Amino acid sequence: MKAASVPYLPDVQFSDEGRIRHLHLDSIWIQGSMDLRDPVRLVHEYVQRMMAWLLFVEPDSVQRRRAMQLGLGAGSLTKFCVKVLRMPTTVIELNPGVLNACRGWFHLPEPGPLLEIVLADAEREIDDPKWWGTVDALQVDLYDHEAAAPVLDSVAFYAGCRRLLTEQGCMTVNLFGRRASFHQSVARMAEAFGRSALWRFKATREGNTVVLAFNGATGGGDPGAVLRERTARVALSARAEAIEARWGLPALKWLKGLEPVFDTETPSPQKD
């Protein structure tokens, strides 16, 4: 009888750069960071953008919604959702070394009423029907120690992600926008969600591009219409101001930067 293959799990290290601590998976690539003086602050711009789904829900409803992270990283999104948004949150992480590092070096809170931690393969775990239709904000950041392309990146995987979402749910995904794999990834997302459901920011200076994929109508109606129509954008600006005042996130900047992944007149993703 052939033994089941065990996935390679890289060693986990950290490095300090002044007041910023970085997480590494047996390489020089940074998998996440923390401000030692303000552990819940979202250090990287792309991580802040992973919270852009907040633009499409009423701020007062956030504590009644559920977040899920596929990939723990340095725990930045998890800590922000639990400690700042006070939002019920589930995180799925494959590598127990990452979990131990986040507890020991990155101030990850222990599981409790607002936090559930599942050590599992995300691809298999999201096939469990208990999660289907329960997630309002799904945040996907799944890179290995080589950081070349997402570890999970198939049409079937993105279809499984969509199945997790509530009717008004949104998935945010971190991709490297200046690599050929970006176009392959968004094409697969489009097959699972539909082309008009995908919106994006331009790549950050480091090359990270955050893509938003909407399951259906948001609290403000169709997300594409909300972002395109002037009247709707005025209301959205007021919500962005509320997000900035309440949680200190650059939501007005998000509103200016969001654009459709696909040009409505061409089949290819828009370029950076």
pLDDT band at 27 (very low <50, low <70, confident <90, very high): confident
Q: Does 3 score more than 50 pLDDT? A: no
Whether the per-residue pLDDT at 184 is higher than 60: the answer is yes
Distance (Å, whole) CA 93 – CA 179: 25
Average pLDDT over the chain, rounded to an integer: 88
Q: What is the pLDDT of residue 147?
A: 54
Contact 98, 55 (CB under 8 A): no
Tens-digit pLDDT profile for residues 9-24: 778 889 999 999 999 9
Over pLDDT 90: what percentage of the chain? Answer: 71
Instruction: Read off the pLDDT of residues 241-269 as tens digits, 9 standing for 90 and up.
Output: 999 999 999 999 999 999 999 875 445 56
Section 209-226 average pLDDT: 74
Q: What is the pLDDT of residues 91-146, one digit of tens each?
A: 999 999 999 999 999 999 999 999 999 999 999 999 999 999 999 999 999 865 45
Q: Which two tokens stand for residue 197?
A: 């459901």
Is residue 155 helix, strand or coil? helix
Q: What is the pLDDT of residue 92?
A: 97
pLDDT at 231: 56
pLDDT above 80 for 66: yes
Structure confidence at residue 68 as a pLDDT band (50, 70, 90): very high
DSSP string, 38-105: BTTS--SHHHHHTTGGGGGS-GGGGGGS-EEEES-TTSHHHHIIIIIS---EEEEES-HHHHHHHHHH
Our measurement of the distance from residue 42's CA atom to the centroid of its chain's CA atoms, rounded to an integer in Å, reads 13
At 2 the pLDDT is 38
Query: Quick one: pLDDT at residue 209?
Result: 94
- State pLDDT tens for residues 34-53: 999 999 999 999 999 999 99
Averaged pLDDT, 185-207: 93
Chain segment 132-179, per-residue pLDDT in tens: 999 999 999 986 545 555 778 899 999 999 999 999 999 999 998 556
Confidence of residue 87 (pLDDT cuts 50, 70, 90): very high
Place of tokens 């293959």: 5
Give the whole-angstrom CA distance, residue 178 versus residue 176.
6
pLDDT band at 206 (very low <50, low <70, confident <90, very high): confident
- Report the greatest alpha carbon distance in the chain: 65
Give the residue with greater pLDDT, 182 vs 116.
116
Decide if pLDDT at 220 tops 60: no
